[in-house]
Amino acid sequence: MGLVRHVVCAMSGGVDSSVAALLLKRRGYRVTGVFMKNWDSLDESGVCSAEKDCEDAYRVCQSLDIPFHQVSYVKEYWHEVFSNLLKEYEKGRTPNPDILCNKHIKFNHFQKYAINTLGADAMATGHYARTSQEDDEVFQQPRTAPPPTLFRDRFEIRNPVRLYKGADLLKDQTFFLSQISQDALRQTMFPLAGLTKEFVKKIAAEAGFDHVLKKKESMGICFVGERNFENFILEYLEPKPGNFVCIEDGTVLGTHKGWFTLTLGQRARIGGQKEAMFVVDKDVATGDVFVAPTTNHPSLFRDTVRTDRFHWLAVDPPPELVRTQMMECHFRFIHQMPLIPCTVTLNMDGTVWISLSQPVRALTPGQFAVLYKGDECLGSGKIIQLGPSEYTLQKGRERLGAAAAQQKEQPTPEPSS
């Protein structure tokens, strides 16, 4: 019998990672389940949800007869994800902790623990995503990372592992994996790549994983849970009261506790207003939060964004983009939003401008612009700048029109002899 490969599966206590571990075991691998704890918290009733999840993961490993470990990254999570999150909120941005957690914790610290400490040949997760590698190829990757040299091995760059959408397009989670490193991608297996969520649930039911099937899907920021976000963030940031200002006429409509408690596009709770007002912009310098009536006000729609240095999953930008500085592809900045056709322009410093085929509601600085070409997820960049809103452009056109009309009315001066 040949060598039995050792795969470490990240176990969350949910149905997806439980079925991932089951499938790996069925394929004949030696599997170890590991539960990762990132946050110390009790919910309202004083129950630590992480403890319950850990217990669920342990029960699955017991029923599969595989070893179980738990590892804590509470300190790393605080320093590398959460403190970054607070800094972003203070700058008036709205960060995405799930993308950052995958980048810094699961596909970095946890991955190194799996490969280096537990001596695994590969790591696996329950994400709905697919790579360009067959499982056997994962094991042919060098176990240790190559030394960082000025000139990377061109072969390695010519043959990067690519990330593709999972078969279940509704559940596809490539969005959340868009910032992970090429090295991490090379050493990861996604057992659920070709499956739909419905089929995964069926496998779990047949395997008797009733305790994980009963759980509801975890949505929202893992550490906030069901709590009110404003109350949560004010535990960590000093309140910075400011005014709600109407974008249309500049009137002050009320006050808020800090611009970081609000995100673009959300409804602003302002007393005494006849119609609902929505957050359309923030001025971090003055503390003003601009609001507009109606959920689809033109000041909420924009069609261009600029990102910071873009993270290409294949390391190098696509050849056509390098060659012509421009490329057509698709964009999303929220998981599961419909993909939008766009044109990408590559800047000299590695940042990109993205022009969308149609204006999009509530594009938000701090969120990630994730790009797709067909089924391939190319990577992502953090949105750091927005183009003008439809409202600003409308106003500009009106002013130009008024100026042109004024010029027409003025009599042309007689040429002096």
- Catalytic residue set: 101, 222
394: helix, strand or coil: helix
Sign of the dihedral through C-alpha 117, 141, 27, 179: positive
By the 8 A CB rule, do 58 and 107 touch?
Answer: no
- End-to-end alpha carbon distance in the chain: 107
Q: How many CA within 13 A on the CB side of residue 308?
A: 8
Integer Cα distance of 152 and 147 in angstroms = 9
By the 8 A CB rule, do 245 and 291 touch?
Answer: yes
In the block, residue with structure tokens 């294949």: 314
Minimal CA–CA distance to 31: which of 124, 106, 116, 113? Answer: 124
Alpha-carbon distances of 305 from 1, 28, 351, 360, 366, rounded to whole Å = 55, 47, 11, 10, 11
Q: C-alpha angle with apex 316: 313 to 320, nearest 5 degrees?
A: 110
By the 8 A CB rule, do 219 and 155 touch?
Answer: no
| Token pair for 379 | 């990577």
By the 8 A CB rule, do 173 and 335 touch?
Answer: yes
By the 8 A CB rule, do 77 and 101 touch?
Answer: yes
By the 8 A CB rule, do 116 and 167 touch?
Answer: no
DSSP 177-229: GTT--HHHHHTEE-TTTT--HHHHHHHHHHTT-HHHHTSPPP-S-TTTTTS-H
Alpha-carbon distances of 416 from 178, 411, 413, rounded to whole Å = 68, 15, 9
Integer Cα distance of 12 and 48 in angstroms = 14
By the 8 A CB rule, do 191 and 24 touch?
Answer: yes
SS3 content of the chain, % helix, strand, coil (to 5): 35, 25, 40
How far from the centroid of its chain's Cα atoms is residue 268's Cα? Answer: 24
The continuous run of DSSP H or E covering 51 comes out as: helix 49-64
By the 8 A CB rule, do 24 and 189 touch?
Answer: yes
* Whole-number CA gyration radius for the chain: 25
